């Protein structure tokens, strides 16, 4: 390769780099001349060395206001950012969600009120058709989220403890942060009152979903997380049906890395 061609390639790469950084700066609301954002490696290195007077002035500012300003820039960018192609969705998102839940090899029952949850769980457990080798999974012992601590589990013949699972529980009863109609997916945000392990480790997972929690797609799910969490959760889990794998001979096996079965109780409101 000639020196001219080699030099032209370097120049083209530098132009592309400046163009990319320019788009990043525009998205973040950073001026082209700001420190460490010039696109010139030599100037960037010098800028990273810092300006003591400037740094002192920045420290004298209000960190909370600076943080809020940065968050607003990010939120405005996300709100204005065009979404990619998406499938057309029906007006009845709840019906679409229920249909997709079954597609994901889960089951679903509609119940009229929260008080029906214990009997609905017992009914589901009693209806499990399991071979003798898995009979112990038809367990009436389990754990639930604090949201359901006030329910009368005893009247339904269930022994449910309000605590995170310790790994040996056969039954986990949880709520959800929201549910996605497009894919039949349950969304969980981690927290002390919403331990996600209770949805992952037990053999049987029963998820309580309200119709108002059903959103169209993943985009709306993330928008709801941003709107309802002052700080970003440590983890966000998207779960579509029971755990499954096809690693061995491309044969689908359920329960390999999580629950063998997922049952959704759908509530109005």
Q: Which residue has the higher pLDDT, 183 or 25?
A: 183
3 state SS of 93: helix
Rounded Cα distance, 180 and 189, in Å? 14
Residue 198 in tokens: 């209770």
Sequence-distant (6+) residues with CB within 8 A of 31 are 25, 37
Residue 35 pLDDT exceeds 50? no
Q: How far apart are CA 237 and CA 197, in angstroms?
A: 10
Lowest mean pLDDT: which of 27-31, 64-68, 96-100? Answer: 27-31
pLDDT of residue 34: 53
CA atoms of 44 and 179, how far apart (whole Å): 45
Per-residue pLDDT tens over the stretch 129-167: 988 888 888 999 999 999 999 999 999 999 999 999 998
How much is the pLDDT for 54?
47
pTM above 0.85, yes or no: no
Of 106 and 253, the structure prediction assigns the larger pLDDT to 106
What's the pLDDT score for residue 78? Answer: 76
Number of C-beta neighbours around residue 77 at 10 A: 13
The CA distance from 184 to 24, in Å, is 34
Q: Which residue has the higher pLDDT, 241 or 230?
A: 241
92 pLDDT higher than 50: yes
Average pLDDT (202-221) is 97
| Residue 38's pLDDT band (cuts 50, 70, 90) | very low
CB 243 within 8 A of CB 201: no
Place of tokens 């329960």: 255
Give CA–CA dist 53/50, Å, rounded: 9
- Percent with pLDDT over 90 in the chain: 55
Structural domains of the chain in order of their starting residue, each with its CATH number: 12-80 (no CATH), 93-267 (3.40.50.10420)
User: How much is the mean pLDDT over the chain?
Assistant: 85
Query: Dihedral of CA 65/67/72/77: which sign?
Result: positive
Mean pLDDT calculated for residue range 195-223: 96
Q: What percent of the chain has pLDDT over 70?
A: 84
């Amino acid at each position: 390769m000639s020196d001219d061609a080699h030099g032209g390639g370097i120049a083209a790469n530098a132009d592309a780099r400046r163009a990319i950084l320019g788009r990043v700066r525009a998205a973040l609301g950073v001026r082209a001349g700001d420190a460490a954002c010039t696109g010139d490696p030599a100037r960037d290195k010098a800028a990273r060395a810092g300006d003591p007077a400037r740094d002192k002035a920045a420290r004298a500012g209000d960190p909370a206001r600076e943080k809020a300003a940065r968050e607003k820039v990010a939120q405005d960018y996300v709100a204005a950012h065009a979404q990619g192609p998406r499938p057309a969705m029906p007006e009845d998102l709840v019906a679409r969600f229920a249909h997709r839940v079954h597609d994901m090899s889960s089951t679903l029952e509609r119940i009229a009120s929260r008080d029906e949850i214990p009997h609905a769980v017992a009914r589901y457990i009693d209806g499990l058709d399991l071979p003798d080798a898995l009979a112990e999974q038809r367990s009436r012992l389990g754990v639930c989220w604090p949201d359901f601590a006030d329910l009368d589990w005893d009247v339904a013949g269930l022994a449910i403890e309000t605590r995170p699972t310790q790994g040996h529980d056969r039954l986990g009863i949880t709520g959800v942060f929201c549910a996605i109609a497009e894919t039949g997916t349950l969304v969980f945000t981690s927290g002390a009152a919403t331990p996600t392990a209770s949805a992952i480790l037990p053999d049987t997972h029963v998820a309580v979903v309200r119709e108002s929690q059903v959103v169209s797609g993943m985009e709306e799910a993330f928008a709801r997380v941003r709107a309802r969490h002052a700080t970003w959760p440590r983890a966000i889990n998207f779960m579509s049906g029971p755990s499954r794998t096809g690693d061995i001979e491309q044969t689908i096996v359920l329960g390999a890395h999580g629950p063998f079965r997922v049952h959704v109780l759908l509530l109005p409101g």
